Amino acid sequence: MKGKLREILKEILYRLLSIFGPAFSSRNLSPRLLIRHVFIQKILRINSHVLWPVHWTTRVLASHKIDRGTRFPGLSSGCHIDGRNGIVLGRNVWIGPRVSLISMNHNLHNYHEFISDEPIIIGDNCWLGANAIVLPGVKLGNHVVVAAGAVVTRSFPRDDVLLAGVPAQIIENLGPYQEESSNATGKYMAT
């Protein structure tokens, strides 16, 4: 009986949180984490323009030009996500702390001008490690792991590879991504 009541209350909470947008009622996030992000984003107005939960130390530009895929880019601390030229994230893209996705660059001859470019496109089941940087127009295939601190300056359309270095290069071929059904949702928990 107690467990059933807990589930009913949890469902009511998720429905109430949906007032702030569908991403704020995601069953992949713990209620505690959702409440924290609603308070920070919708009441304190930090990253209030972003339609999904992001960490309060993350900066998101042009969130309306970002297709976030199935996860929540910027939920890790200290990310810089610049969507002005567009960013398309596939299913199950994991983004570590302090990752920068920079879709727009300055003109080298006039720093007040920005250069239009193709969007950043990141395939399914990718993982961007802490402090990784992805620059404008980069396209990554499926199951591409970008090592911590790597700077991706060009596209890597091949699937199942590990990138590392500055500038990034392929350092290892990986086997296919092994998605476990028990962890397929990539559930986030409050920390």
SS3 sequence, 95-158? ECCCCEEECCEEECCEEEEEECCCCEEECCCCEECCCCEECCCCEECCCEEECCCCEECCCECC
pTM of the predicted model, to two decimals? 0.86
Assigned superfamily of 55-174: Hexapeptide repeat proteins (2.160.10.10)
pLDDT value of position 6: 86
10 Å Cβ neighbour count for 90? 20
Each domain of the chain, given as residue ranges in start order, spans 1-53, 55-174
pLDDT in tens, 15-38: 999 999 889 988 888 889 999 999
pLDDT in tens, 158-168: 999 999 999 99
